[in-house]
Structure 1
Amino acid sequence: MATSRLGQYMIRRALERQMRELQKEMATPQVERRVPPENLYQPYGITDEEKASAEARVEEASQMTTPHLLLSELADRFNPVAAAGLEVIYQFELTDGEPGYIQVQHQKLVISGGSHPEPSVTLIMESETLRGLMNGEVDGMQAFMAGLIKADGDMLLATKLTRLFPPG
């Protein structure tokens, strides 16, 4: 729909007016409310020690990497056609985290935390290496050759991971 010159003029004037109002608001000094941190928590009965302890636990939890969280990112990339006839359990042991595993059976994927009693292959690595594998920044074969990944069990199954989870 074509806008007439008068319509364009009116739109431009309205935009200019809005810009002037925004500039005025930005030029107006904002009143800053300051609440001392100790007063912020005291109404809830939280002591400084409890606050520090909670903050430390939150920081620790944010640094933890579980394979279950990392492996769950693979669900969207799962290729069930490549899993045809394959029944395998990939165990992931993180040297700096908790274990987790992927079970592929009947062209379906199950991701679990913990250790499986009978994995087909176990891959041992740091969480950063696993994260790099998941997002495609790390090539599995090169990481294995460089010693970043150690494998125990059926090595042929480890090579099938890229077909099961093609890079996105």
Structure 2
Amino acid sequence: MSDIVNEAVKVLNEKMSGGLGGTAKFDIEGEGCVMIDDDGARAGDEEADVTLSADPETFRGILEGDTNPTAAFMAGQLKVDGDMGMAMKLASVLA
């Protein structure tokens, strides 16, 4: 497992402020995947309601609050596959 995935799991678990009501997966290009559900974040690559894909730099920017996820999506830096409503809910849970 990559350092980026390990760091992401730690940071996401600190940011989680409520239940997600579903599953989400961050697919970090060349690094691995992070699963998020009502129990928090963990390394893994399973089926999810929504999958968000980005390169490591974009993902780190989103995680650190330097990159707006919506702007990254509109610029094609963040791809969303699946339940767009779940992606929006994920953004509010992590705020």
The answer to whether residue 77 in structure 2 is matched with residue 138 in structure 1 is no
Paired with 2:44 and 2:14, the residues of 1 have a C-alpha distance of: 21
Paired with 2:35 and 2:60, the residues of 1 have a C-alpha distance of: 14
- Residue in structure 1 matched with residue 26 of structure 2 by the alignment: 92
Amino acid at match of 1:92: F
More strand by share: 2
Structure 1 length normalisation: TM-score? Answer: 0.51
**Is the alpha carbon distance of 1:89 and 1:139 closer, same or farther for their aligned partners in structure 2, counting shifts above 3 Å?**
same
- Residue in structure 2 matched with residue 128 of structure 1 by the alignment: 57
The answer to whether residue 15 in structure 2 is matched with residue 77 in structure 1 is yes
Structure 2 length normalisation: TM-score? Answer: 0.85
Moved over 4 A (4+): none
- 1:14-25 matched pairs, under 5 angstroms: none
Aligned length: 95
Residue 153 of structure 1: which of 73, 76, 82 is its match? 82
| RMSD, aligned CA | 1.9
Amino acid at match of 1:156: G
Q: Greater relative contact order (Cα 8 A, min sep 6): structure 1 or 2?
A: 2
Amino acid at match of 1:145: M
Q: Which has the larger radius of gyration?
A: 1
- Residue in structure 1 matched with residue 44 of structure 2 by the alignment: 114
- What secondary structure sits across from 2:87 in the alignment? helix
Structure 2 residue runs without a partner (length 5+): none
More helix by share: 1
Task: Compute the displacement of 1:72 (Å).
Answer: 1.8
Paired with 2:75 and 2:94, the residues of 1 have a C-alpha distance of: 22
Counterpart contact for 2:49–2:82, Cα < 8 Å:
yes
Counterpart contact for 1:68–1:111, Cα < 8 Å:
no
